[in-house]
Amino acid sequence: MSGLGACRVVRQRAFASPSGSQLVVVVWKTCGATDSTQASIIARGRTFSPEDTPTFVSVRGHPEAVVAWSSERAVRIGFIPEPGEIYKRDQRAGDVAISYE
């Protein structure tokens, strides 16, 4: 867990790409009364930093993230239960295409 100003970030899980060279890192973030689940992609061996690692998806609350890599350049992500509000939902993170279910 790391602090981010008035926010608290708790790392939940990491999902490795088929070769293991990249990770989707899922975190829960709480800022005051706002809770969100966020995901980022980082290279294996790099340290995840909530301040420096770009988020490609952010949803309200703390649903469970379901992540499946279909190749080194494509990943699918979904949430259980489906989030009521989506704050951010990018279609790409670097050279990785992202699809949502």
Mean pLDDT of the 51-58 span: 94
3-state SS of the chain?
Answer: CEEECCEEEEEEEEEECCCCCEEEEEEEEEECCEEEEEEEEEECCCCCCCCCCCCCEEEECCCEEEEEEEECCEEEEEEECCCCCEEEECCEECCEEEEEC
* The model's pTM: 0.89
Render pLDDT for 58-77 as a digit per residue (tens, 0 to 9). 999 999 999 999 999 999 99
Q: Quick one: what percent of the chain has pLDDT higher than 70?
A: 95
Render pLDDT for 29-41 as a digit per residue (tens, 0 to 9). 999 889 999 999 9
Q: Name the band, by pLDDT with cuts 50, 70 and 90, for residue 4.
A: very low
